[in-house]
Structure 1
Amino acid sequence: MPVDLRGRSVLTLDELSSDELRFLLQLVADLKDAKRNGAEARRLSGKNIALVLERDSVHARAALDVAAHDQGANVTVLGPWSGYGRRREPIKDLARFLDRLYDAIEYVGHSHEAAEELVEWACVPVLNGMTDQSNPTQALADLVTMQQSSDKRLDDMIVAFLGDGSSNAARSLALATSKLGIDLRIVSPRTYWPEAPFVEHVTSMAKDSGGQIMVLEHVGAGVLGADFICTAPWFGEGDVRWAERVRHLAPFAVRENVMEATDNPHTKLMHSLPAWHCREDAGGARIAKRFGVECMEVCDSVFESKSSIVFDQAENLMPATKALLVATLAD
């Protein structure tokens, strides 16, 4: 049966079937190839997209801007600096206003409940550019990067995620891999494990797809045999209790010994960015001085190594965003 996502909202990858997810992955690859070859067709000419931006994300905004421009669509950014502030208007009122003017809404913010409320009240597709709970576009970009960086099939891959296992990056990766038969290990301090009902949900789906998902604390066991080691920022805008988070997460930073522990010379590093990986910038210098660590999620020597495919991954965020736009908006 053909896949048809027209008019659909996408807030998490849990809303997509495995066939729909595979369709999107192929569409990401096709759109990336079409642009590279100068053969891209503009399928969204005349479309208008509202970007409701309640958190600072250079990557999400840049990906949407370029994706929409390539496809002939227009983007209006609504953030505090543009006169929009949630306190001034209930989100259900905003949704009912925006859907009169725009063909789609992308939400980038902290509150997943706000994104759900936009879906409830808007009559146009709502796409999740990032919330504290979910980042489906990033997970699509991650999977395409894995496909393009390995000769293995997705269902033959072993992926280890190190860091905050309850983060939007870890949760979205778990939902994606559970539908595609991938072996995923979430390696995290117990205090940052995803909640038990979520783990039960994704492990059940993984069993049905022929994959498996494990949540564990031991780094050596978690990364053994991994084709990809993934990590993500330890901190986001508005996070507090930095010292506590650094203390818990420091043993899960990706250093040379972690890459060696995979016992796989072809292991690749992935990071969803931004990354504090050295003392060279002002932020890195402050972190080193305050917490006594030379890096956060990944050390500089690994980040800059030949094993790092971080910027391939970052590049793929744009065609992943474009694929969601085309799939949900194109006539």
Structure 2
Amino acid sequence: MPRRFLEIHDMTRQEAHGVVNRAIEMKQSRFRSELLAGRTLALIFEKASTRTRVSFEMAVRHLGGSTIYMTQNDSQLGRSEPVEDTIRVLSRYVDGVVMRTFEHSKLTRMWAKTSIPIVNALSDDFHPCQVMGDVMTMVERGADLAKTKVAWVGDGNNMAHSWINAATYFPFELVLACPEGYTPNKDILDAGIKAGGKIRLVTDPLEAIRGAHFVNTDVWASMGQESEAGERMGVFQNYQVDAKAMALAAPGAKFMHCLPAHQGEEVTTEVFESEASIVWDQAENRLHIQKAILEWVYSGGEGTLPYTLAEI
């Protein structure tokens, strides 16, 4: 059975820690290999992207493979071909799929019919590669995760869900500040707390930021929510991360954002362009964490992994 990475919990806790450590090693050594030599991955992007597309294309190339880029405009997906049919055809052509889509159910439906690995490059429910890269960025910055508080400020979206998943595997405290009606999926939140994550949900963004070592946010209206943008501007107006809010965070706290950012909305330019901002490190680390994830996917089993599964 091929491996999949649709959400962080598709790895074991030990594997997730090992992949983060491996990504840091890869970055430090400018790692290249022939792991994917002779293999081609299809990148299916129903949502436009800069960082995700380029970082995955380069990750595959650094591992010796090649890619085919597909959108709805140049495939039968744009003519409503069932994803089950698409994956059954692609399974006979390519060696894996990296998909950036809307409904997470498309990924799970494809997985039920696939004979090749599938990696979630973003769905409406989860953004696991981004958050794994963000955990890498915190560790790279020397954070002792057992003594680290992470604040999530804004929409309880796919990023919030993946942060909740990460909090069940990594020992940081996660406090999410979301307005009523825009909180994370209750089942995902409850499961995260039940699994032992140090997770709290509040409505006051300043409560979440107070004493936080990393302050994290995202756009107020994601791709596909353009029609809600005006309404969301009103709902989230008190959730902007500005200098006054950052002053409540722990000394030396860092600002994080998955990008692209709307400066002047969820974050002020003063904070975004400040020394506290580590958004460019986050963006760079997408390349390295995705190389480590692909290595995990294609290594075939725990016994063949080229690194120790040591916890962070």
Q: TM-score, normalised by structure 1?
A: 0.87
Whether the 8 Å CA contact 1:103–1:329 is kept in 2: the answer is no
Give the structure 2 partner of residue 119 of structure 1: 111
Give the root-mean-square deviation of aligned CA atoms: 1.5
Look up the equivalent residue of 2:155 and give its one-letter code: D
Deviates more, 1:103-112 or 1:12-21: 12-21
Give the structure 1 partner of residue 303 of structure 2: none
CA deviation digits over 1:68-108, x for unaligned, max 9?
Answer: 11111111011134344343421111111101111111110
Whether the 8 Å CA contact 2:164–2:188 is kept in 1: the answer is no
Structure-2 change in CA distance of 1:70 and 1:181 (3 Å): same
Number of matched pairs: 299
Q: Which of 153, 163, 181 is the equivalent residue of 1:191?
A: 181
Give the structure 1 partner of residue 293 of structure 2: 324
In the TM superposition, residue 330 of structure 1 has moved relative to its aligned partner by 3.8
Percent identity (aligned): 27
* 2:158 counterpart of 1:146: no
Q: Which of 251, 265, 274 is the equivalent residue of 1:296?
A: 265
Deviates more, 1:302-311 or 1:59-68: 59-68
In the TM superposition, residue 20 of structure 1 has moved relative to its aligned partner by 1.4
* 2:69 counterpart of 1:74: no
Q: Which of 86, 89, 96 is the equivalent residue of 1:94?
A: 86
Whether the 8 Å CA contact 1:44–1:330 is kept in 2: the answer is no
Whether the 8 Å CA contact 1:228–1:267 is kept in 2: the answer is yes
* 2:259 counterpart of 1:273: yes
Q: Which of 217, 238, 242 is the equivalent residue of 2:224?
A: 238
CA deviation digits over 1:262-316, x for unaligned, max 9?
Answer: 2x22100000000011xxxxxxxxxxxxxxxxx1111000000000000000111
Look up the equivalent residue of 1:268 and give its one-letter code: K
What SS does structure 2 have at the residue aligned with 1:121?
coil
- Name the CA distance, whole Å, in 2 between partners of 1:45 and 1:330: 13
Q: TM-score, normalised by structure 2?
A: 0.92
Give the structure 2 partner of residue 161 of structure 1: 152
Q: Which of 229, 238, 241 is the equivalent residue of 1:251?
A: 238
- Name the CA distance, whole Å, in 2 between partners of 1:114 and 1:195: 18
Which blocks of at least 5 consecutive residues in structure 1 are unaligned? 1-5, 278-294
- Name the CA distance, whole Å, in 2 between partners of 1:88 and 1:198: 29
- Name the CA distance, whole Å, in 2 between partners of 1:224 and 1:194: 21
Deviates more, 1:229-238 or 1:170-179: 229-238
- Name the CA distance, whole Å, in 2 between partners of 1:155 and 1:8: 30
CA deviation digits over 1:8-27, x for unaligned, max 9?
Answer: 10101122221111011112
**Runs of 4+ deviating beyond 4 Å:** none
- Name the CA distance, whole Å, in 2 between partners of 1:82 and 1:9: 25
Whether the 8 Å CA contact 2:254–2:277 is kept in 1: the answer is yes
What SS does structure 2 have at the residue aligned with 1:122?
coil
Which blocks of at least 5 consecutive residues in structure 2 are unaligned? 301-312
Q: Which of 134, 155, 160 is the equivalent residue of 1:170?
A: 160
Structure-2 change in CA distance of 1:322 and 1:86 (3 Å): same
Whether the 8 Å CA contact 1:78–1:84 is kept in 2: the answer is no
